[in-house]
Amino acid sequence: MNKKFVKDFIVVENERLNSFNSLLKLRPADGVMPSVSPGQFVQVYVEGSKNTFLRRPISINNVENGQLWLLVKEVGDGTHAIVNTPVKGILNIILPLGKGFSLNPGKILLIGGGVGIAPLLMLGKCLKEYNSEVTFLLGARTKEELIELEEFAKYGHVCLSTEDGSLGEEGFVTQHSVLKDDFDMIQCCGPLPMMKAVAKIAMARGLNCEVSLENMMACGLGACLCCVEDTKAGNVCVCQDGPVFNINDLKWQI
Ligand SMILES: Cc1cc2nc3c(=O)[nH]c(=O)nc-3n(C[C@H](O)[C@H](O)[C@H](O)COP(=O)(O)OP(=O)(O)OC[C@H]3O[C@@H](n4cnc5c(N)ncnc54)[C@H](O)[C@@H]3O)c2cc1C
Ligand code: FES
């Protein structure tokens, strides 16, 4: 288990990417960025109302030049407060949490939907450093929701899907033509129905496949049991034993 840290981070940049997603770049106040791996997440303390008593889990989008990147979709009070933290403002963060994606050689397809694309950027970067051949397949309802595309393009070939056909191929990621290509592994993060559909394709082809679950979390540390997933190994805490799981270890009815 890697050591966890509770640290203040200073907001260095806060860029609104579209109507509901922001990219925050944060610098540790003490100048020491803990070592993290792709697919791990952080717990962000949100000051303010009693609605935001619990920290909010957010994936590590990237670590670059000693800065932690968080891609945050505003859905409620907690994420509203996080994306509205001004430059020079402080966010208190526990990190690194959970077990991330595995790094494997070969042709790797990274499939992301919605804000689930967040952990795939750092994963693609690490896979490229590992000499794997990375293809990203990113999906959203419409082109406005496809973000950080220039960043993804640095680390692999980028394929896009939109439900309304406004960018890339029209339809769901599971209908994209790139899925006809041969891959050695699929790694995926996004809405649960999307991950189950991807897992079904991977199983039908006998492909190794990992998914990152986003079960509701409270402590993020394996103490409150609110994130439990029933797996073939019994009930496990997604915050500690995941969020990344091999689909062969899950009890999904697919
Ligand atoms: C491991 C993990 C990684 C995540 N990574 C990211 C990320 O990189 N970027 C990002 O924007 N969001 C991410 N999320 C989701 C994020 O934690 C929730 O959107 C956030 O906690 C909502 O807080 P809120 O106060 O804004 O909304 P709330 O008022 O608490 O809830 C608003 C809505 O969001 C839903 N929601 C709340 N918490 C979760 C949750 N954990 N999972 C799914 N739906 C939830 C609620 O059911 C409700 O419909 C991640 C979640 C997990 C578990
Ligand atoms: S969130 Fe508390 S045990 Fe996982």
| 227 Cα–ligand 2 center, Å | 5
* 3-state DSSP assignment of residue 125: helix
∠ at Cα 55 (30, 3), nearest 5°? 50
And the tokens for 230?
Answer: 């029933």
Average pLDDT over every residue of 7-18: 98
> What topology is assigned to 5-97 in CATH?
Elongation Factor Tu (Ef-tu); domain 3 (2.40.30)
- What is the separation, in whole angstroms, between the first and last Cα of the chain? 31
pTM given for the model:
0.96
pLDDT of 81 reads: 94
% of the chain residues with pLDDT over 70: 99
- Break the chain into its structural domains and give their ranges: 5-97, 107-212
| Protein residue with least CA distance to atom 41, ligand 1 | 216
For 2, 36, 43, 232, the CA distances from 54, given in Å and listed in that order, are: 22, 22, 9, 29
* Nearest CA, atom 47, ligand 1: 216
107-212 fold: Rossmann fold (3.40.50)
pLDDT value of position 1 = 65
> For 65-184, where are the E strands, in sequence order?
67-73, 90-97, 107-113, 133-140, 157-162, 169-170
Residue 76 Cα to ligand 1 midpoint, Å, equals: 8
